[in-house]
Amino acid sequence: MRINASPQRQQLWLLAFALVLSMSTWFSTAAVLTQLRDAWQLSSAQASWLTIAVQLGFVAGAVVSAVTNLADRIPPLRLIFLGSVGAAAANALLVVAGGFVPALFARFLTGAALAAVYPPALKAMSAWYRTGRGVALGVMIGALSAGSALPHLLNALGGVRWEPTLLAASVLTLVGGLVVLRFGVAGPHVVATAAFDIGQIGIILRNPTFRLASLGYFGHMWELYAMWAWMAAFYTDVLASGRLASLVAFAVIAMGAAGSVYAGLVSDRRSRAEAAALALRWSGSIALVIGFLVDAPDGLVVALGLVWGFWVVADSAQFSTIVTETCPPSYVGTAVTMQLAAGFVLTVFTIFLVPVVRDAAGWGWAFVMLAPGPLVGVWAMRALREASEWASPDSVNV
């Protein structure tokens, strides 16, 4: 079926824009963590749990979605809107939470609602692209990066008060959902919504390509969210300015948008596995050194962080792309959601461990701890490249 390029591109940029807005609630507390620690007298462990709660909420929401095939039973554009409304409301509750325990519950609900935004967005865009899907999903992951970085920019512009930053993130998330509801259009390759079938989970898990792609994704996730969660804290120690640290953290995380698009171009021209391995090698290498440079010239540490931000998420879209191209079309949403849910479980450990290792041995060893993830991912991508059907992107099973 020949697709008119104009509406295809329009929907790509529309959905990417909406995702930037909708994902702004993900790291909303990380962006104002210093203020929250002072306001609520939080310990280091409690500060970590405000981010971990979002990850666990996302996992819980994703598991429910996968087990019930929710991502394949409700049209993805409608699901994105519902998830955006839920995330906006849950995040706004932080303003009246008044302390750690209710804030933890609000963050969990935020993550659970975002499980109805991010995976359906990948499925919705897959319905627009059969060729060029690598770069299309790269744009979507780039939007995730920009949206995750946005609260740091809001905090840098908004000064010391944390309430306006959180409320602004909720408003942006709600607007993102409304944009999708009002202007989003289902792609020409959309498949009929599927009936509930728990047996599809076993079929997906027996797919060897799904397993290798997921292993690569798990290595990627071991590094990614811990890096994103602690960038502002790291640059606060480097630059000794909270506002400047927020601005640099925004730039570092947002650089992932460019990296994701670049890796998507590489994957469409060469192979998904090769593009992912390239990003994993770069990000893992920088994780080994950047933390030991806290006392180096500021410009060097910022430049290395920007390079890390470019590569650390660049591989992400390729793991999802492989899944969309090798799993049954009627259950792509379930397969992507399963992969994401398992990967997000791993992020809990590294988000918690980074400040523990930092306090014990410094930023250098805290970031070195993240490097084994990319190493495992490189091995998985090498195994995937050796499979004959992945010798080139033209041989994908669509």
Which of 53, 103, 32, 109 is closest to 225 using CA atoms? 53
94: how many CB neighbours lie within 10 A of its CB? 25
Are 22 and 120 spatial neighbours (Cβ–Cβ below 8 Å)? Answer: no
Tell me the chain's radius of gyration from C-alpha atoms: 20
Domain edges within the chain? 10-184+197-395
What six digits make up the tokens of 223? 């590094």
What band does 151 get if pLDDT is binned at 50, 70 and 90? confident
Is the pLDDT at 378 greater than 50, yes or no? yes
Rounded CA gap, 232 and 165, in Å?
Answer: 15
Rounded CA gap, 242 and 13, in Å?
Answer: 33
Q: What is the mean pLDDT of the chain?
A: 85
What band does 132 get if pLDDT is binned at 50, 70 and 90? confident
Is the pLDDT at 68 greater than 70, yes or no? yes
33-42, 81-90, 201-210, 293-302: segment of lowest average pLDDT: 201-210
| Single-letter residue type at 279 | A
| CB within 8 Å of 329: residues ≥ 6 apart | 191
376: how many CB neighbours lie within 10 A of its CB? 17
- Supply the DSSP symbol for 392: S
Is the pLDDT at 87 greater than 90, yes or no? yes
| CB within 8 Å of 386: residues ≥ 6 apart | none
Give residue 191's pLDDT: 56
What band does 135 get if pLDDT is binned at 50, 70 and 90? confident
What would the pLDDT profile of 279-317 be if each residue is shown by its tens digit? Answer: 999 999 999 999 999 999 999 999 999 999 999 999 988
What would the pLDDT profile of 196-230 be if each residue is shown by its tens digit? Answer: 556 667 777 777 888 898 999 999 999 999 999 89
Measured over the CA atoms of residue 199, residue 202, residue 206 and residue 209, the dihedral's sign is positive
Give residue 388's pLDDT: 45
Inter-CA distances, 249 with 42, 143, 193, Å: 22, 16, 40
Are 69 and 197 spatial neighbours (Cβ–Cβ below 8 Å)? Answer: yes
Are 324 and 122 spatial neighbours (Cβ–Cβ below 8 Å)? Answer: yes
What would the pLDDT profile of 1-29 be if each residue is shown by its tens digit? Answer: 444 457 888 888 899 999 999 988 988 88
Give residue 396's pLDDT: 36
| Single-letter residue type at 398 | V
- Architecture of domain 10-184+197-395 in CATH? Up-down Bundle (1.20)
Give residue 3's pLDDT: 46
Q: The pTM is what? A: 0.81
Residue reference for tokens 């000794």:
240
